[in-house]
Amino acid sequence: MKDFIRSENGKIVYWLIGIIACIIFAVILVPPLFSTINKLDPVIMGIPFLEFMEFLLGIVLAILLVLLYWVQKVRGEL
């Protein structure tokens, strides 16, 4: 896996993680992109849907940023 990430084709992984992280970041920060989903005011585990999704997307974003850091460290770009 590390050899693939160090190769030229491994840059695709780097860009893919970065683009997905930017999309999630934009969805969390721009309310019109996020509030169009909530139509019926559902509740998940006692938490309103919007708060639950922001929490979940925050966790996913943190995981993606850790992966991006790891990819940069393997590629020697840090």
- Give the Cα separation of 13 and 3 in Å (integer): 13
- Give the Cα separation of 77 and 18 in Å (integer): 14
pLDDT in tens, 57-70: 889 999 999 988 98
Helix (H), strand (E), coil (C) string for 46-70: CEEHHHHHHHHHHHHHHHHHHHHHH
Measured CA to CA in angstroms, residue 48 lies from 1, 29, 44, 71 at distances of 40, 18, 6, 35
Determine how many CB atoms are found less than 10 A away from the CB of residue 2.
Answer: 11
| pTM passes above 0.85 | no
What does pLDDT average to over the chain?
81
